[in-house]
Amino acid sequence: MSKIIETHAHLYAEELKEDICELIENAQLAGVEKFVMPNVDETSIDGMMELEAKHPGVCYSSMGLHPCYVKKDFEKQLYLVEDWLNKRKFVSVGEIGIDLHWDKTTLAWQEEALKIQLRLAAKHQLPVILHTRNAFKETYDLIKALALPELKGVFHCFSGTVEEAQDAIALGFQLGIGGVVTFKNGGLDKVVADLPIESLVLETDCPYLAPIPHRGKRNEPSFIAIVAHKVAEVKKLSVEEVIHTTTTNAKQLFYAL
Ligand SMILES: [Zn+2]
């Protein structure tokens, strides 16, 4: 049986702190081999790296500034991100992107922060973890215009259309599929049915976005097995095939894993 790569887990989150070791063990029992932890802002760095140090070869840190945390001082925050990228090795740059769900007024800052971080990823030859919410087109257009030929990454928590998925794939990106695929009227199950398994990676985005039957509750990294089963069901593949292929995809993308 192949092992799962959990490509998006905020394991350092306050909501998971109390029983994090048990949660990691449970996920390992559910078949997870490695976890990618995306950073959020300067306040999440220490907790992330502590977990990585405690679980070497299991938990991997990513470095970046999340679009929801791009504020007036974003340039200062990005110097910190750049400093860390120069100082040590990370598995990827992220999570970065554009979010127009929570705050549209910061769009210009978000675009600038995304450009800077995409260039940093290219410079360090690292993949990127993209967060886009109500902003697929803005993100896609910006990446395309930057034209960084070696750039690779994942549209984390992908929940767009088949056409958007094809655009992302043509750009050299993978699509991160999580709990939303289990939601009854989300429609993502029908989209995923039409996407090539060679372009998908699995994630939970824990502690957020728990899959059915845990929707609305705390999401745990072991719930990734539910996502794998759902993807297998909608794509009419065996669970083993889904896990084997998505793990291969994840290792090609996050080559340090
Ligand atoms: Zn995230």
CA 8 / ligand 1 centre spacing (Å): 6
| Stretch among 75-84, 183-192, 197-206 having the lowest mean pLDDT | 183-192
CA 39 / ligand 1 centre spacing (Å): 8
CA 101 / ligand 1 centre spacing (Å): 14
Q: How many CB atoms lie within 10 A of CB 54?
A: 12
CA 38 / ligand 1 centre spacing (Å): 6
CA 190 / ligand 1 centre spacing (Å): 23
pLDDT digit string, tens, across residues 35-51? 999 999 999 999 999 99
Domain containing residue 35 = 4-253
CA 233 / ligand 1 centre spacing (Å): 25
pLDDT digit string, tens, across residues 137-163? 999 999 999 999 899 999 999 999 999
Q: How many CB atoms lie within 10 A of CB 53?
A: 10
Give the total number of structural domains in the chain. 1
Count Cα atoms within 13 angstroms, Cβ side, for 238: 5
Confidence of residue 173 (pLDDT cuts 50, 70, 90): very high
CA 205 / ligand 1 centre spacing (Å): 5
What average pLDDT does this structure show over 11-37?
A: 98
pLDDT digit string, tens, across residues 190-247? 999 999 999 999 999 999 999 999 999 999 999 999 999 999 999 999 999 999 999 9
CA 10 / ligand 1 centre spacing (Å): 7
Q: Is the pLDDT reported for residue 93 higher than 90?
A: yes
Percent residues over pLDDT 70 in the chain: 100
Give the three-state DSSP class for 168: helix
Q: Is the pLDDT reported for residue 185 higher than 90?
A: no
> For residue 101, what is the domain's CATH number?
3.20.20.140
CA–CA separation, 106 and 98 (whole Å):
9
Q: How far is CA 12 from the centre of its chain?
A: 15
CA 1 / ligand 1 centre spacing (Å): 28
Confidence of residue 53 (pLDDT cuts 50, 70, 90): very high
CA 12 / ligand 1 centre spacing (Å): 11
Confidence of residue 186 (pLDDT cuts 50, 70, 90): confident
Q: Are 39 and 8 in contact (CB under 8 A)?
A: no
What is the pLDDT at residue 128? 98
**Total residue length of the chain:** 257
Q: Is the pLDDT reported for residue 102 higher than 90?
A: no
Phi, psi of 9 (to 5 degrees): -135, 120
CA–CA separation, 97 and 128 (whole Å):
9
CA 192 / ligand 1 centre spacing (Å): 20
CA 93 / ligand 1 centre spacing (Å): 12
